[in-house]
Amino acid sequence: MSLPAYDQAIEAVPMAMLVVDAQMRLIMANAAARELFGAGILGRPFVTVVRHPGVNDAVEKVLGGAEAGPEKLAAMISVQGRDLSVQTMVSPLALEDGRGAALAFEDRSSLDAAEQMRRDFVANVSHELRTPLTALMGFIETLRGPARNDEAVRDRFLGIMEREAGRMNRLVGDLLSLSRVEAEERRRPVQGVDLTAILRNVVASLSPTAEAAGAEVEAIMPDTPVTVMGDPDQLVQVFDNLVENGLKYGRAGGKVSVSFAAIAHEPVLRGPAVAITVADQGEGISSEHLPRLTERFYRVDTHRSREQGGTGLGLAIVKHIVNRHRGRLKIESEKGVGSRFTVILPDPRATGRGAEPKG
Ligand code: ADP
């Protein structure tokens, strides 16, 4: 049976649409509405399908009022065991046998979830900034008052204040990085960069940190360049974060190792790839935390992260940069043994050979 073009168009609209007659019976439901409310709804009283007093009132108003215009309302409806946030529009119809109403439902659940995430993010940022700010204000007050003439206390407090200001500075820097990376995420890098050179830089720049932690960074690198399409500054940021985390959360006096591997066919990337693994000998991370580590501000141990000067944004930045490079981030960890963070990037060489690992 083929429907008239107009009905076919309504059927194809992705928004759920219903029509009720003057007795408030459902006389039409397009494909999206049948999917949303269930296949057998035609002929049923409207109130038994959309159980929402506000929507029901709007339909009654449209059916009853001579001057009725379209009614719009936001509603939380419960359909087939799911709660959905919808924007509903009820419009009057003149049917052959009397007044009717057309309803259109726009699913706003994902918009609501995005809005909630934005609110949570702002709340988190405010909280993260307020903690060091409160400390700074407290120390300023003490330095002005009781500790005014105590040189030793003053020096100690200034040291703490410097650390807290540094934390705020890092947080703002990470927030800016994150927003920059997010803004560019759809733009794929087109420049060829040598990963071995990047890693050599990172290891050199972190050697004072490693020394301070009494730890060693060992990089086992191929002696020929390993080229990927990449943004050099962002790739430095990725490995800087991963190696620094290895030092922060690794075993005191332990080793953080960086190694390369070639993957002939990476199933998710569907092609040859280069894998760089940063492994530490720290206490490891329990498996329930692993899927959440790249969320902004997610920390396994907030106290430990703060003590180490962490912002809780490092892995979120890493994840976004890796996404921009069309790569994958793999996190493996074993309690008591250590953690391995592997960045897998597409190998631009069509030969499929990938980089030659060494060592
Ligand atoms: P932070 O600034 O807190 O280090 P990250 O986003 O870099 O933020 O990491 C998030 C959390 O993941 C850390 O707080 C820590 O709990 C955990 N984590 C990251 N790297 C490691 C690691 N190498 N070993 C153990 N835990 C880690």
pLDDT in tens, 98-132: 899 999 999 999 999 999 999 999 999 999 999 99
C-alpha span between 113 and 120 (Å, rounded): 10
Name the residue among 152, 151, 150, 154 with its Cα closest to residue 162. Answer: 154
Nearest CA to ligand 1 atom 14: 299
Name the residue among 307, 304, 301 with its Cα closest to residue 289. Answer: 301
Q: Is ligand 1 within 6 A of the CB of residue 311?
A: yes
Mean pLDDT of the region 252-265: 94
Distance in Å, CA 315 to ligand 1 centroid: 7
C-alpha span between 266 and 279 (Å, rounded): 20
φ and ψ at residue 95, rounded to 5 degrees: -90, 165
Nearest CA to ligand 1 atom 4: 310
**Among the residues of 88-150, which ranges form H helices?**
109-144
CATH number for 3-107: choose from 3.30.450.20, 1.10.10.10, 1.10.1060.10, 3.30.70.1140: 3.30.450.20
Domain 108-184 bears CATH identifier 1.20.120.1780: no
What are the structural domain ranges in the chain?
3-107, 108-184, 188-359
* Phi-psi category of residue 80: left, alpha or beta, with phi > 0 → left and psi -120 to 50 → alpha: left
- Average confidence score pLDDT of the chain: 92
Instruction: Decide whether 108-184 matches 188-359 in CATH topology.
Output: no
Contact yes or no for 220/257 (Cβ under 8 A): yes
CB count within 10 Å of CB 144 equals 9
pLDDT score, position 352: 42
* Phi-psi category of residue 305: left, alpha or beta, with phi > 0 → left and psi -120 to 50 → alpha: alpha
Mean pLDDT of the region 194-213: 95
Q: Report, at the CATH architecture level, how domain 188-359 is classified.
A: 2-Layer Sandwich (3.30)
Mean pLDDT of the region 81-91: 92
pLDDT score, position 349: 78
